[in-house]
Structure 1
Amino acid sequence: MKIGIPVTWRKQWLAASMCLFLLATTAIFAAGTAHAESRPTLLIMGDSLSAAYGIEQEQGWVNLLAQRLDDDARVVNASISGETTSGGAERFPRLLEEYSPDIVLLELGGNDGLRGLPPGQMRGHLATMIEAAQQAEANVLLLGIDIPPNYGQAYRDAFTGVYHELAADYDIDLVPFLLEGIALDTQLMQGDGVHPTASAQPRILDNVWPALEPLLEMHLSADATSL
């Protein structure tokens, strides 16, 4: 004699299974959404050195950074070739509002130096951006740059000194020279002598990473605790 399962039981079992499936799907989706929302956002404010000038976009050090971080962080590259600190300071408030970054990598000043603009003016613009980022509760990593010797030692000292002064005054981390170990190597620089080649981009990331990694770890550990 074959004993069948009552129709009402089957309906109840199917309904319960469907509920469990929906609950599991919702939990997985919620976990993914929570991870996406909790991961730190990095905003890169730079010039052609961070905008992959003269090379493919995916070869640039910022894109290499995004690949290294994978899904652990969101990387927003707001760099523009030819950007000065004045232009950056003008754009910065809107970018802060739009992206609410946790970490700001500030790589500006090179074009100010190449144009021979007053270091004090550059300092003021960078300070404005640092203060705005800190008021928005974002950590700032300052990426310094140098200019060619033909600008004169006095101007170079004043120029590079701006980065060190700002790092000390605002208690922020500093990469003293973004192109350390690169700028004087003709094999790693494009024909203009100003912009690094594609093969130099991993080295640029290596220059940035030791200062950036502790900031990332701080945010990632804070996010893990809050989950």
Structure 2
Amino acid sequence: MKSVKEWPETERPRERLLKHGAQNLTDAQLLAIILRTGSNGKTVMETAIELLNKFGGLKGIEEASINELQSVTGLGIAKIAQIKASFELGRRLLSQPAQEEVFNSASLVYNYLYPKLNGLKKEVFITLLLDTKLKLIKEIKVTEGILTQTLIHPREIFKEAVKESAYAVIVAHNHPSGDPDPSEQDVEITRKLKKASEILEISLLDHVIIGNGKYFSMKENKII
């Protein structure tokens, strides 16, 4: 069995990336570059292909636990850490707003938060603090777990907004079920926050619920 170093240079994943660009490599080739070396008698490409087949593609690998990844022969903690770090870097890049991005629509909020919230098993409630041009000042994770009116208190939402002199806020949370339709509790929380925003004179622009590939906007649906 030939090692990757023994392959013709035109077939080696790293050399192909440098010559043709990362966008022209297959998922297996990109994964092989991250893994760097094979083990237990398998080449790195064979390990990469086994991973993709076992977990049904990149999404399955991303969602797999460390214990599940360890079930692949030859995949040790160091390689698993490399895989997890690569996916996290990609997620952070996708969720990083452009320097001049203006949060003036629910779709922009969704595009910004979906990479962060997709696949989480718990509900996470986030507040985006905005300036007068609706650009992001600060992002705050308010709470994690089942949302209740006790947990999502206006004091917790607007405390940082006042501190940062925010002009407006957008709140958002995910539904782990993937269905973004609001519950009665979601609607009640939104109306309570809207009343508080009017008193404090800090605009509550929207409450966006993030689902699997779709979202629900309280503003667009005229709930606020």
TM bucket (normalised to shorter chain) is 0.3 to 0.5
TM-score w.r.t. structure 2 length?
Answer: 0.33
Which entry has the higher C-alpha Rg, 1 or 2?
1
Q: Bigger relative contact order, structure 1 or 2, given CA contacts below 8 A and separation 6+? A: 1
